[in-house]
Amino acid sequence: MPLVGEYNHSIDSKNRIFIPAKFREYLGESFYITRKMNKTCLAVYSEEEMNRLAEKLNELPDSDVSDIKEFLFSKTILVTPDANGRVVLLPSMISYAGIEKNAVIIGAGNHLQIWAENAWNTEEKNRDMAVLRNKLSSIGL
């Protein structure tokens, strides 16, 4: 089942954010958080999905993907939620995503994304539906 939905949460003074229970069930006991490469947000992957991504990258020549590996893996953390379902984010991750206090956690199919609330609202407001429809059509959907 794909990860779906949108949830508003805030980062507390200890850089913790709550991950909704339905997402934790999918992600497992521990999961990975990293920077999203093509968006200014964070990506959350199950161990299985992160392993799949790493395997794909490792199949390619290092000369083609070393920058991607450095970007992706240097700031990736393996987290285990506390008893209240919270995980601690690195300050560099919070800064990368531009999160000040309020965040939005969205399901994105095979992973989650954690956005600064204002950035997510802007992303949604500026989404070009014509471009999206063309992309869907080009892949047969």
For the chain, the domains span 6-138
Q: What pLDDT sits at residue 2?
A: 85
Per the CATH hierarchy, to which homologous superfamily does domain 6-138 belong?
A: Transcriptional regulator MraZ domain (3.40.1550.20)
Question: Which parts of the chain register pLDDT below 70?
Answer: none
pTM: 0.91
| CB of 77 closer than 8 Å to CB of 45 | no
Phi/psi of residue 6, nearest 5 degrees = -140, 130
The reported pLDDT for the residue numbered 47 is: 96
